[in-house]
Structure formats: C-alpha cells, structure tokens
Amino acid sequence: MSAQSQPYLTPEHYLAIDRESEFRNEYYDGRMWAMSGGSYRHAIVIAHLSRALGNALDGGPCGVTSSDVRVRIAPEGLYTYPDIVVVCGEPRFADGRTDTLLNPKLIAEVLSHSTEGYDRGFKSAQYRMVESLEEYAFVWQTEPRVEVFRRQPGGHWLLSESIGLDSVCTLESVNASVTLAEIYDKVAFDPAESPTSGR
C-alpha cells in the first residue's frame, strides 16, 4: 500500500495514468499507489457475495458491480476500487466517463491481513463522507463474520454483526438478506488464523 516517491499528481493526471495501467491504482492527495493482489479465498468470498447479492436484488432498482469500477469519494479525495459496490437507480459518473462512480449505496470490502488496518481506518473514514452511502460492510475471510455499518440520523453509524455459518446478514439499504453459508461456500478456514481462536 506504500506509494513510491513521485511528483504530485492532479486527479486528472491520476485518471489518465490509471486508465492506461494494467493494474488498478488508488489515489489520494496527489499520490497514487498500486493496489495489492488478493488470495484465492479472498476472490471466492467476493464472488459468492456478489452472486448472492445479485440474486437478491434481481428485478429491482439496484445493481451489483465488482472491483473493476472506481469510486470517487470527492474531487480531491480518495479514488478507490471497493471489492463490491451496489448502486440503486441511475448511476452517476465523474468526468463524462463511465468508470468512476459517484453514488454508491452499499460498499463491501473483504478484509485481508495486509489491508485490514487501512480498510478499517482511513478508508472507512473516507466512505462515511459519501453522501449516497447508507451502509458499508467488512467481510472477514479468516472466519464466517460480517460487520455492517449502517448510517443513522445525525450522521452516526450503527454496527451490526453476523457471526457463524448459520447467520444471516441483513443489508437494509438495499432490502436484501444473504446467508453466511452462501458467502463462505467452499471456503476452508484455518483455525490458527482466526483472531478469536484463543478466546
């Protein structure tokens, strides 16, 4: 996640570079850095959640996109590629192109060891600045657990957790429910990796 020494980039310069790059790059405050790759388990969890959400939202006004779509927090703020984004109604895009989304309603990130601190800290704070965003979720890959942060009146965010394969994750922003058994189908957990294994 570290940015190598580089000259200050404007958002326009970043977008020009990123659109020609074979790798996805994030941007904030004049700096651009390549996103790290994910593991097989990370990819499987994303695929299962995307499919389950797509099935739950089928026929309605909301659609699911993958991490191929860039999200802009603010013109001078973070540009990033969330693992999963849900948009309801007409999508809005930056600068006349259809690759930088402005109005996500739901964002989900599958946590990795290398990015968890960044996702929970800086990126989480950035997501809370998006006016259209009503929920964002952190999906663990070390055990069956999903944390959903839901916008409340007054700008507060409420945390709800779904834990265990028998649990159901409710996403009120898009009126959808997904079982953790669906999300973690065929996922093999290593008990030694679980942060709660010693409890």
What beta strand segments (E) does the chain contain? 25-28, 31-34, 62-65, 70-72, 79-80, 84-88, 100-101, 106-110, 135-139, 145-151, 157-163, 168-171, 176-179
Domain that residue 151 falls in: 38-187
In a domain, 30, yes or no: no
Residue 173 to residue 148: CA distance in whole angstroms: 11
In a domain, 120, yes or no: yes
In a domain, 4, yes or no: no
Please report, for the domain that includes residue 168, its CATH number: 3.90.1570.10
How many independent structural domains does the chain possess?
A: 1
In a domain, 82, yes or no: yes
In a domain, 146, yes or no: yes
The reported pTM is 0.90
In a domain, 177, yes or no: yes
User: pLDDT 10s digit of each residue in the chain, 199 long?
Assistant: 444 556 899 999 999 999 999 889 999 999 999 987 778 899 999 999 999 999 999 999 999 998 889 999 987 789 999 999 999 999 999 988 899 999 999 999 999 888 899 999 999 999 999 999 999 999 999 999 999 999 999 889 999 999 999 999 999 999 999 999 999 999 988 776 766 544 4
In a domain, 19, yes or no: no
